[in-house]
Structure formats: structure tokens, C-alpha cells
Structure 1
Amino acid sequence: MGQSRDAACPRPARAVSWTFRLEVGPQMWDWTMGPPDLQGLRSIRTPRSTEKSRHIPVQAHSVTLDGPIHLESGLEHDLVRELDRDPDVEWIVSQPVRLGLRTSGGRPRTHTPDLLVLRREGAVTIWDVRPLEKQDEKFAEIRGLTASACAEVGWQYRVYGGGSPVRRDNLRWLTAYRRQMPWYPNAKDELLEICREPRATVGAVLDADHGAGHLVSAMWHYAWTGAVVMDLDSPIGRSTPIREHRDAL
């Protein structure tokens, strides 16, 4: 469910304007009405690629949305893979708002953050995606202004600079197993029984599978959901430890 319009929400300073795209089109939002219906938001702009583009737009499938999401870069795709695994994430909007900002010196700045994320308890996070090496002084200024604007309306603000290449590759692998298959529930009990062993490893699951594939594919699926825990920041091999995550079941 989207955030209620009746939720208490302070009105942002007049120096900041928020323009959302709703069904009727772009609209500068009046925060005295409370927040907009977040699940009714549409991207304020459509990513496009030209000869001089710094990014390559992609259309990714989101399990959270059960449909496509348009992204501006592979790094945004990396973040969506992380968010899609989080069971508390209820909704994601790309290019969610156009902010009209002003610096301390009164200079106007316009900024479109990359993602808006709504969590099940109602918390909202605005995300900017920027590689660490490109988080320069100009971006730092925008980051500070955006963080202040979000704080004024009770929203969180975060910046994603990317994970390690190993983590990115591991998540790409697990993403191939994110959809529930008919044999996963039947394989789950046997898989988790292995995970409860004191020194359980990926190799133990491979050996118990006997080449049938049901346990191995279930292991990857439940590693994606978080029910099976393994270190995604390290290369995965036979000796990789695995365990049951009871809270994720």
C-alpha cells in the first residue's frame, strides 16, 4: 500500500520544489496535502541514449514490481538487484521526482534522483546512484541539498556507490534463480537440514544433490531470498560456508 495522504508530514521550505509525474502529468506538489500516492507515481523522465550519453539506459525486470523498471545505468541495475532481495521493500520508482533546489548562495539547482523506495512500514528512501570516483565537489553540493530536502519531508536519503565486482557477479548469478520453481518447496526441508550442520558448505549441497539439480537450484534460489546465507562478498566455491537464516523463513 502507498503512503497515506493523512500521514503527518512537515511542509518543505519554499526554497525546495518537488515535481512528481502522476496520471494527469507532471505536478508541483503541495506538501500541505501530505505525500503523494507513491504507488501512483510515474518516472518524471524517460532515460534516453544518444551519441554523447554517459550512461546506457536499460529495462530490467523487478520482482518487487513484478514487471519492468527503466534505469539509466548498469550501476542502478546493481542497486535494484540488492533492493529486489529485500522482503521489506514494497515499491520502487525510477527517476521519481524533479527537485528545484537552491544553494546557500541562492543559486538555483535542478536535480532528479535515481530511485524512490517504499518499505512495508511506510518509510521512504530517495536514492542517488553515483560511482565513488565520480562523487566530486559538484555532486557533494547536490547531495547535501537533496538530503536536506528529504529530511524536511520525513524521508531518508542515501547514495549508492556500487559494491565489489565479486558481489556484483554473485548477485547476477543468484538473480537467474529468483523465480520460484515447483520443486523448490519440496527441496527446501532437505536443503535447510544440510544448512543446519555445523560446517555446512556449498559442496555438501552439491554432493547431496547427486546430479539431479533440485537441491542445487533450490540453494541458489533461497540464497537469493536470504533464507540460505552465504558470503556474497567472496567468490563462491565448494568450500563456501552456508547456513540457515531463520528470520528469513
Structure 2
Amino acid sequence: MDEVAGGLPVREFRWYRGRKHYSGWYHASTTGRMVAYESRLELARILIADFASEVTEIAAQPFQLVGPDGGRIRRHVPDLFLVHAGGLVTVVDVKAPSRMKDPKVIAQFDWTRQACSRRGWIYETWSGAEPAVVENVRFLAGYRRRDLVENSLIARVLAAAAGQPTIGGIEAALAGQPCEIVRPVVLHLIWSGRLVADLRAPLNRASRIRVAA
């Protein structure tokens, strides 16, 4: 499992003018390594995995499954391989909502689910999440690196959050510090899970916030 989680993608990624899909590499704070993606939708699922505190490893295009499926030999490379605290594994295939009911896609999903089940792995098919949540996680990812925020304020922000119910309240409690320094610390602490906010609405000064249990 460690070899799979820490390995390179099993297929080559190509970039060229006119390509319909948006591909690239994302630096995951969970692992400290680059994770490849082949579409914005796939990037969104990687961001959500990187944000989830229970995920400890993220790998893209981690392996190729090969095996019989009725009278044919099927080959498939899943999109993501996630390892959770405690060793639980989730294999993820990302597909656009418009393709989720395609019979060929459904057949591939069913075959992959059976292959994962035999190894005791969870299999997930993902076509998106609540837009506000995805956009908030995408925004918070810009503050995922601790070395880019004012670390000396972390303890003070957490102390202020214990008595203030909103982001604006925390900033007011630290009025001696510029907002442009305090706000990134607050957002980093939400990303890292030390502060909790409702991500179903856009984050702003009025967003309610609490210290994680």
C-alpha cells in the first residue's frame, strides 16, 4: 500500500494546445508531494481529499487494474488512491455528471467496485460536490502552507476564537494587528482543521467559526 501511495502515476500526462481537459500538478499539504490531475473536476476531488483531516495519503492514477469481465479482458486506471488514518483505503473514479449514466461507464464502475471489494477497499464514484463547498475549499487551499502565514499569531488567533463567534470578531479582538496579516492565519487554521467554519456559504467576516474539539 505504501508503494502505491508514494508512487508516480502509471500513465504519462500530456499537455498540448487545444486539449479539452485542464491538466496539471497540485502540491498536496497532506503528503508534501505533487499530485497530478487531468481535469478541473479531478482537481476539485484532490482538493477535498487534501482538506480532509482523516486522509493521510493521496496518489493519482496509482495503478492499472487488469482482469476478466465476462467474455472480455478489462483494463482500467482509477483516478485517485486515498489512504485514511487507520489504514482504510478509498479508490476514486471521477467522471463528469453527464457521463455517470453511460452504460459503458456504469459497467466499468461495477467491475472496478468488485475488484476493490476483493481487497477490502472502498470504491467511490465522484461527479462533484456542493458548489459552495468546493469553491470554499479551493479558496482555503491558497492558505494551506503554514510557512506563508504569520506563525507567531497562531496561538493568539486560537485564543481569540475561543471567545469570538465570527471571523470578523477574531479580527476585531486582534485589532492591534493588520487584518491582512490576521485573516490569512484564520484561513490557514480553517484549512488545517484547528478552526471550524460552515463551508456551505461563502466565507466572509460574518462567517461563524469555532475552535475544533
Q: Give the TM-score range, shorter chain.
A: 0.7 to 0.9
Deviates more, 1:183-192 or 1:211-220: 183-192
Identity over aligned pairs, percent: 28
Report what 1:162 is aligned to.
128
Counterpart Cα distance in 1 of 2:88 and 2:150: 32
Report what 2:199 is aligned to.
232
Deviates more, 1:64-73 or 1:175-184: 175-184
1:147 pairs with one of 98, 107, 113: 113
Report what 2:158 is aligned to.
192
Report what 2:84 is aligned to.
119
Alignment map for 1:209-224 (pairs within 5 Å): 209-210=174-175, 212=178, 213-224=180-191
1:40–1:182 distance in 2 versus 1, CA, 3 Å: closer
Report what 1:108 is aligned to.
73
Counterpart Cα distance in 1 of 2:111 and 2:80: 16
Deviates more, 1:158-167 or 1:44-53: 44-53
1:209 and 1:216 in contact (8 A); partners too: no
**Does 2:31 match 1:65?**
yes
Counterpart Cα distance in 1 of 2:48 and 2:122: 17
Counterpart Cα distance in 2 of 1:191 and 1:146: 46
Report the secondary structure of 2:137's partner residue. helix
**Does 2:9 match 1:43?**
yes
Which consecutive residues of structure 1, in runs of 5 or more, have no partner in the other structure?
4-36
Shift of 1:117: 1.5
1:52–1:139 distance in 2 versus 1, CA, 3 Å: farther
1:146–1:173 distance in 2 versus 1, CA, 3 Å: same
1:183–1:130 distance in 2 versus 1, CA, 3 Å: closer
2:149 and 2:188 in contact (8 A); partners too: no
1:46 and 1:70 in contact (8 A); partners too: no
- Summarize deviations over 1:102-151 as a string: whole Å, max 9, x none: 43x42332211101112342222211111223212221111111011001
1:117 and 1:126 in contact (8 A); partners too: yes
Alignment map for 1:235-246 (pairs within 5 Å): 235-246=202-213
- Summarize deviations over 1:3-25 as a string: whole Å, max 9, x none: 5xxxxxxxxxxxxxxxxxxxxxx
Report the secondary structure of 1:45's partner residue. coil
Higher Rg of the two aligned structures: 1
2:80 and 2:93 in contact (8 A); partners too: yes
Shift of 1:90: 2.6
Which consecutive residues of structure 2, in runs of 5 or more, have no partner in the other structure?
none
Counterpart Cα distance in 2 of 1:221 and 1:231: 15
Shift of 1:91: 2.1
Counterpart Cα distance in 1 of 2:76 and 2:16: 20
* TM-score, length of structure 1 as denominator length: 0.75
RMSD: 2.3
The number of aligned residues is 210
Q: 1:115 is matched by which residue type in structure 2?
A: L
Deviates more, 1:136-145 or 1:209-218: 209-218
* TM-score, length of structure 2 as denominator length: 0.86
Report the secondary structure of 1:176's partner residue. helix
